[in-house]
Amino acid sequence: MHRALSNVLQLGVKELRSLARDPAMVILIIYAFSMAIYSSATAMPETPNRATIAVVDEDRSQVSSRLIDAFQLPYFMPPTLINHRQMDRGMDSGLYTFTLNIPPDFQRDLLAGQQPTIQLNVDATQISQAFSGAGHIQQIIQNETTAFVQGYSGAAALPLEAVVRMAYNPNLEASWFGSISEVINQITMLSIILTGAALIREREHGTIEHLLVMPVTPLEIMLAKVWAMGLVVLIACALSLRLVVQDWLGVPIQGAVSLFLAGTALHLFATTSMGIFLGTVARSMPQLGLLIILVLIPLEILSGAVTPRESMPVVVQTIMSLAPTTHFVQLAQGVLLRGAGIGIIWPQLLALAAIGLVFFYAALRRLRTTLQ
Tens digits of residue pLDDT in 292-320: 999 998 888 888 887 788 888 899 999 99
pLDDT surpassing 70 at residue 161: no
User: pTM value?
Assistant: 0.77
Residue 79's pLDDT band, with cuts at 50, 70 and 90, is: very high
Residue 88's pLDDT band, with cuts at 50, 70 and 90, is: confident
Mean pLDDT over all residues of the chain? 88
Tens digits of residue pLDDT in 179-215: 999 999 999 999 999 999 988 888 877 777 777 777 8
pLDDT surpassing 80 at residue 58: yes
Residue 47's pLDDT band, with cuts at 50, 70 and 90, is: confident
| Average pLDDT for 260-268 | 96
Topology given in CATH for the domain delimited by 53-145: abc type-2 transporter like fold (3.40.1710)
Cα angle 226, 232, 233; round to 5:
90
- The residue ranges of every structural domain in the chain are 2-32+173-371, 53-145
pLDDT over 90 for what percent of the chain?
Answer: 49
Tens digits of residue pLDDT in 221-231: 899 999 999 99
Burial 286-323 (b: 16+ CB within 10 A, else e): eebeebbeebbeebbebbbbeeebeebeeeeeeebeeb
- The predicted structure's pLDDT at residue 111: 87
Task: Convert the chain into a string of H (helix), E (strand) and C (coil).
Answer: CHHHHHHHHHHHHHHHHHHHCCHHHHHHHHHHCCHHHHHHHHCCCCCCCCECEEEEECCCCHHHHHHHHCCCCCCECCCEECCHHHHHHHHHHCCCCEEEEECCCHHHHHHCCCCCCCEEEECCCCHHHHHHHHHHHHHHHHHHHHHHHHHHHCCCCCCCCCCCCCCCCCCCCHHHHHHHHHHHHHHHHHHHHHHHHHHHHHHHHCHHHHHHCCCCCHHHHHHHHHHHHHHHHHHHHHHHHHHHHHHHCCCCCCCCHHHHHHHHHHHHHHHHHHHHHHHHHCCCHHHHHHHHHHHHHHHHHCCCCCCCHHHCCHHHHHHHCCCHHHHHHHHHHHHHHCCCCHHHHHHHHHHHHHHHHHHHHHHHHHHHHHHC
